[in-house]
Chain A
Amino acid sequence: GAVVSQHPSWVICKSGTSVKIECRSLDFQATTMFWYRQFPKQSLMLMATSNEGSKATYEQGVEKDKFLINHASLTLSTLTVTSAHPEDSSFYICSARDRINEKLFFGSGTQLSVL
């Protein structure tokens, strides 16, 4: 079946540093990828929608200058958390929509801990 590879699976960083998370569709092309965030005991919340070759669309309350999204190819989207702070500690997960059949596949997530 279709696979979405998300890397890294976990990261610990110091406050003020930037962290890049990659989301890659391995055997299909995705014109649209989504980035979600999940705090403990909360639901997955959509952060932004990433479209290949264009600017990402951010949900209300999500700072676009803090969460930089790049979707430069049909198989790769990246999320960079800039100047991370402890409150950014969360589980980040991406999903990719197959451009042929529109099925949605999820990565395995990235647990970010900012000290």
Chain B
Amino acid sequence: KQEVTQIPAALSVPEGENLVLNCSFTDSAIYNLQWFRQDPGKGLTSLLLIQSSQREQTSGRLNASLDKSSGRSTLYIAASQPGDSATYLCAVRKGGGADGLTFGKGTHLIIQP
């Protein structure tokens, strides 16, 4: 059974810092890995999706890497801003069919102004 772990569970840093969120998964046979942002009272917003054949994806100040063989992914946030405060979720998809996602518990991020 796939298990996804996110470290740290919570993080509070001053505005402007670069930071790294970690995600690990136990079964390397994944179809893709996705990072989401969850804001209180709102749904999930997809940030980056990395296919199993890819090693990284970038969008603006965000960069996600994937090392499938070791079961790890990192989300790098550059020049953090207070608006980045949210819970960040890592999720893996097993197969290419009608498969749901396996989520980690998330990293609760607070960026101090």
In the bound complex, residues from chain B placing their C-beta under 8 Å from that of A6 are 43
In the bound complex, residues from chain B placing their C-beta under 8 Å from that of A105 are 46
Interface size class of A (residues with CB under 8 A): 20 to 34
| Residue of B34, B98, B102 touching A32 (CB-CB under 8 A) | B98
Interface size class of B (residues with CB under 8 A): 20 to 34
Q: How far is the CA of A104 from the CA of B35 in the complex (A)?
A: 12
**Is there an interface contact between A108 and B100, defined as CB atoms closer than 8 Å?**
no
- Indicate whether A51 sits within 8 Å of B41 (C-beta atoms), given known contacts A42-B105, A44-B89, A104-B34: no
Closest partner residue, chain A, to B36 (CB atom): A106
Q: Tell me the minimal C-beta distance from A17 to chain B in angstroms.
A: 24
Q: List 12 A-B contacts (CB under 8 A).
A: A6-B43, A43-B89, A43-B105, A43-B106, A44-B89, A44-B103, A49-B98, A93-B44, A95-B44, A105-B46, A106-B45, A108-B43
Chain A contacts to B: CB under 8 angstroms:
4, 6, 9, 32, 34, 36, 41-46, 49, 51, 57, 59, 93, 95, 97, 103-109
